[in-house]
Amino acid sequence: MAWYQVPGNEQDIVISTRVRFARNLSEYPFPSRLDAAGAKEIINKVGQVLEDNGFTKTDFSDISHTAAVSLVEKHYVSPEFVRESLPHALYLNEPCNLSVMLCEEDHIRLQCILPGLALQDAYKGACKVEQLLDERFDLAFDDKLGYLTHCPTNLGTAMRASVMLFLPATTMAGRMEALAARLNQLGLTVRGLYGEGSGSDGYLYQVSNQVTLGVTEEGTLRKLEDVVHQIIDNERKLRQSVSGRDLDLLTDRVLRAEGTLKYAHALTSAEFLKLAAEVRLGVAMGIIKDVKVEALTALLIEAMPATLTMNTEPTPKTEGERDLARAMLVREKLSGNP
């Protein structure tokens, strides 16, 4: 099972946790100054070690655009990776939630992604792969600058730890801006997952560390963990503070969203995201009792355009056909026995 199909800690608020390392081989130019032959050499060398350790290769020159975008939707590769013109390949160990992009912005981008809040476990997972490669290759490193990366912003630990959060109450209370400012002072950053912080983006945000030089990996994780717990506490308090007429209105909205998701014949992805966020809030607040949070998390990936297209038989050919397939999938997932 993939990360988005299993329950996680604090899943009423935390969707997923990721820890990623950037690494480079010291003897090759970074990807922007690398030729195709060099990129292939790196993929062969590093890929061999990964294949010997349970990873499966996906060569991006061999797969369809839809298949590539589906891997972005599952958060195994970055959107940039799909557009990359050099030879590039993904090595995936899905049962272990590990993925390695070869020849993205850096030679090696390895990550562990887990459901819910799991910073320590994601770090351990990423470290295992990192050690494997460190033992076999001369990684670009400097005593003062740490791991040498293509972009100087990543120098030092070259580690990015991020937590995807569902913050409807914090957003509706108008507190996201203040939160972003505070995080900034702490060397952390928050971004809306699908752009602006409006309801239509599903109230999803990604909080991650920004500073990588002059800090340890453990210190960074500790700080992020502390801050995320504070954000979670605040979000829960705000959710609990809704009462009286406001609660009636919210309850009405949430149940109407559930009704639409369960009975719609066609759903666009924007409508799905908006309604799924409302249902998620309803489940988290105990208003909706017969839907599981993890079903909503799975849909967050499986109802996205590319993944939906990949998983549907026969393959939907138009957006309209895809909207029908989406509605059918959502109906099945939400009315299945909880």
Residues near other proteins (CB under 8 A) are: 20, 24, 26-30, 32-33, 78-80, 105, 109, 111, 130, 134-135, 138-157, 159-160, 162, 189, 191, 193, 206, 208, 210-217
Distance CA(29)–CA(76), nearest Å, equals: 24
Q: Kindly tell me which of 93 and 206 has the beta carbon lying closer to other proteins.
A: 206
Q: Kindly tell me which of 63 and 211 has the beta carbon lying closer to other proteins.
A: 211
CB atoms near residue 195 (< 10 Å): 9
Taking the complex as a whole, how short is the minimal distance between the CB of residue 162 and other proteins, in angstroms? 7
DSSP string, 114-182: EEBS-HHHHHHHHHHHHHHHHHHS-B-EETTTEE--SSGGGTBT-EEEEEEEE-HHHHHTT-HHHHHHH
Residues in contact with 252: Cβ distance below 8 Å, sequence separation at least 6, in sequence order: none
Collapsed DSSP state (helix, strand, coil) of residue 66: helix
Taking the complex as a whole, how short is the minimal distance between the CB of residue 90 and other proteins, in angstroms? 13
Q: Kindly tell me which of 118 and 288 has the beta carbon lying closer to other proteins.
A: 118
Distance CA(308)–CA(325), nearest Å, equals: 8
Q: Kindly tell me which of 33 and 289 has the beta carbon lying closer to other proteins.
A: 33
Asked if omega into 314 is within 30° of 0 (cis), the reply is: yes
Distance CA(6)–CA(84), nearest Å, equals: 31
Alpha-helical segments (H) within 210-318: 217-240, 244-263, 269-284, 293-302, 305-311
Phi, psi of 58 (to 5 degrees): -125, 110
Q: Are 203 and 171 in contact (CB under 8 A)?
A: yes
Q: Kindly tell me which of 181 and 249 has the beta carbon lying closer to other proteins.
A: 181
Taking the complex as a whole, how short is the minimal distance between the CB of residue 227 and other proteins, in angstroms? 15
Q: Kindly tell me which of 88 and 160 has the beta carbon lying closer to other proteins.
A: 160
Collapsed DSSP state (helix, strand, coil) of residue 281: helix
Taking the complex as a whole, how short is the minimal distance between the CB of residue 20 and other proteins, in angstroms? 6
Taking the complex as a whole, how short is the minimal distance between the CB of residue 181 and other proteins, in angstroms? 13
Q: Kindly tell me which of 202 and 282 has the beta carbon lying closer to other proteins.
A: 202
Taking the complex as a whole, how short is the minimal distance between the CB of residue 140 and other proteins, in angstroms? 4
Taking the complex as a whole, how short is the minimal distance between the CB of residue 60 and other proteins, in angstroms? 16
DSSP string, 239-255: HHT--HHHHHHHHHHHH
Q: Kindly tell me which of 142 and 177 has the beta carbon lying closer to other proteins.
A: 142
Taking the complex as a whole, how short is the minimal distance between the CB of residue 117 and other proteins, in angstroms? 18
